[in-house]
Amino acid sequence: MSSKHVLSSLTHASDDTEFFTPMPSAYEPGKTKYVVVLGTVMSGLGKGIFSSSLAKIFKDKGLSVSPIKLEGYLNRDSGTLNPHRHGEVFVLDDGVECDMDLGTYERMLNMDLSRLNFTTSGQIFSSVLDKERQGKYLGRDVQMIPHVTGEVKLRLRELAVATEADVVFVEIGGTVGDVENAYYIEAVREMAFEEGRENFCFVALTYIVEPKILGEQKSKPAQMNLKQLNAAGIHPSIIACRASGPVAKKVREKIALFSNVPMEDVFSMHDSDSVYVVPEMLRGAGIDSTVLKMLGLTDRTDIKAEEGARKIWANYIARFRSAANPIKIGIIGKYTAVRDSYASIIQSVEHAGAYLGAKVQLEWVDSTDLNDDNAGQQLDSLHGVIVPGGFGFRGVDGKLACIRYAREHGVPYLGLCYGMQIAVIEFARNVCGFTHANSTEIELDCPEPVIDLLPDQKKIEGLGGNMRLGGFDVAITENTRAYSLFGNREHIRLRFRHRYEVNPDYIEKLESHGLVFSGRSPVAPIMQILELSPDKHPFFMATQAHPELTSRPLDPQPMFLGFIRAALQRSGVDASAIPTLEMNDTPHHQSSDTAAPRA
């Protein structure tokens, strides 16, 4: 039976057919192409980096693209995941808590994604069970095949319809062989059969080991895992080989031989100084041309548009690599052992550093090791400190010591989410004289709760999805540092993920001692940005938001720009030698492209 016949068959399994192909009403088979990226050997190889880089190239060529990440875990979303286990939780503008790879897609593509771009097994199984209760499977016994795999296929086709994408990039989390990924792999195999192989391209990322004791690259783990992928019915058209250095020709030949993939399509994706150089690595290897030919899209590309986009991107890479002014920035947190916990902060610092010519060296400081006695010893050599988001009481004393030292000694400070709450507590204790000031998250019955639960949160129980999540408008006060950084705009939009806020009962008291709340919610008494005036501190700002989530390579986040600029001046760089913060050059606060449903 042909693929076309399968798609024209019944969309619900019955006694007459075993085909189960739930289809959005507006879906046109063959209109959208699919690139599926899978991992082998080990997780964390950079599937999201490869997928987003190839998607960026296609976007540069004038094609419409939309990514989706398929996660195998049973959580409904990433909101309750410990950063030690799964890296940072990335928050989309519509409030979805998702995998950090969605941040990679947003930054690389300069697109705001939506809940349609992220799926977990928890979402898939919940949807299937809801439909079973509603009798939508016509009395059939509900099985992994065809019902669960059918739900996965439906998600992919719904995304294609909603975003009108020319190409949907599908990233399957984890690795081939993971039990939780088996039905995802089966679903894309079925879908390639239904749509026709000319509409699908499979890419496998693998890892080339190089044991120090041997001193040479070995491909055996890659060979075995690629065979496992073939056994699942997936025959990749492209293999990207991850390694610390360029993968030797001999190794790539062996991979090609054992996987039936042409040598020219076995690509060395070795470590580089920035993830943003990967698009040019792919172009240089001809991967983009190969995929375009496979999918029949070559005639639909815009060469002139691509040339312009490449020049702009190359300028960013040049600025990043030519940055000559070294500065040390401290990240003060309790997840510093796992760098992925702060992935978006790392990227935001890079974006601002490239724009301002700063060669940033990050210093990781575990807040549990800090106190008032050793803060100066650990922080004095830094040119700026960032206290990122977090939850709970562990490491709070160290963060308080850090903030006090930065405030009293003129060290540029940027507080993010929890970093703003702790800054308020420190200021209340050491400037306002509220010696018992605290957060009710840390001390439930504290006598001076300068940080307390949001009113709407007090009646909610449980952890998952109950915070103030996603994009919200912020009203900016005129004649403040925030007002200047955001291009003298009275309203901006930032992303949030928090339960607690500055207690409104203490706002007037804090302000009377010199704390400036320069950003507020337009519709509620929620303080969203604070600062000390320039005559009191070279740069002291904090925000209840997560500005790192919206920084882009070509569009650095303004608060990070201001922070890095202040750090450069602390390092001794003359202000006149630092590029000015021209918001016309970095229109961060203007809308970017979107992969959300189109009207």
| CATH number for the domain that contains residue 395 | 3.40.50.880
Contacts of 277 (CB under 8 A, 6+ apart): 317
Give the number of residues written for the chain.
Answer: 599
What pLDDT is recorded for position 467?
Answer: 81
- Residue 344 CB contacts under 8 Å (≥ 6 apart), including other chains: 88, 90, 100, 103, 546, 548, 549, 551
- Residue 31 domain-assigned (yes or no): yes
Query: pLDDT under 70 in the chain at which residues?
Result: 1-17, 335-338, 392, 455-466, 581-599
Catalytic residue among 417, 426, 501, 531: 417
Same domain for 300 and 344, yes or no, is no
Q: What is the dihedral of CA 387, 389, 394, 396, to 10 degrees?
A: 40
Among 271, 290, 315, which residue terminates a domain? Answer: 315
Residue 382 to residue 388: CA distance in whole angstroms? 16
Q: What is the CATH number of the domain that holds 176?
A: 3.40.50.300
- One domain for residues 310 and 367: no
Whether residues 418 and 521 share a domain: the answer is yes
Task: State the pLDDT at residue 10.
Answer: 45
Q: Which residue matches tokens 């239904």?
A: 194
Question: Nearest 5°: phi and psi at 501?
Answer: -150, 175
Asked, for residue 2, whether it belongs to a domain, the answer is: no
Range of the domain at 522: 323-579
Check 147, 351, 546, 589 and give the catalytic one: 546
Do residue 382 and residue 460 come from a single domain?
yes
* Same domain, yes or no: 171 and 241: yes
Residue written as token pair 């509409």? 199
Q: Are residues 256 and 377 in the same domain?
A: no
Domain identity same for 79 and 156? yes
Measure the CA–CA gap between 331 and 345, rounded to whole angstroms: 9
pLDDT at 321: 95
Residue 548 designated active-site: yes
* Model pLDDT for residues 272-301, shown as the tens digit of each residue: 889 999 999 999 999 999 999 999 999 999
Examine residue 477 and state whether it is found in any structural domain, yes or no: yes
Is 546 noted as a catalytic residue in this protein? Answer: yes
Q: What is the Cα Rg of the chain in Å?
A: 25
Do residues 221 and 311 share a domain? Answer: yes
- Selecting among 201, 548, 588, 589, the annotated active-site residue is 548
Joined tokens for residue 581: 């913060």
309 and 327 share a domain?
Answer: no
450 and 545 in a single domain? The answer is: yes
If one counts the domains in the chain, the total is 2
- The helix (H) or strand (E) run that includes residue 476 is strand 468-476
DSSP string, 202-259: EEEEEE-B--TTTTS-B-HHHHHHHHHHHHTT---SEEEEEESSPPPHHHHHHHHHHH
- Are residue 79 and residue 228 in the same domain, yes or no? yes
pLDDT at 422: 96
Which residues contact residue 490 at a Cβ distance below 8 angstroms, ignoring those fewer than 6 apart?
Answer: 475, 476, 478, 483
Same domain, 277 and 131: yes
Give φ, ψ of 241 to 5 degrees. Answer: -100, 115
Residues 146 and 22: their CA atoms lie apart, in Å, by 10
What's the pLDDT score for residue 24? 92
Answer yes or no: is 276 within a domain.
yes
Residue 201 lies in a domain: yes
> How far, CA to CA in Å, does 218 sit from each of 227, 256, 272, 329?
16, 14, 20, 38
Cα 570 to Cα 119, 250, 481, 489, 576: the distances in Å are 45, 50, 18, 27, 14
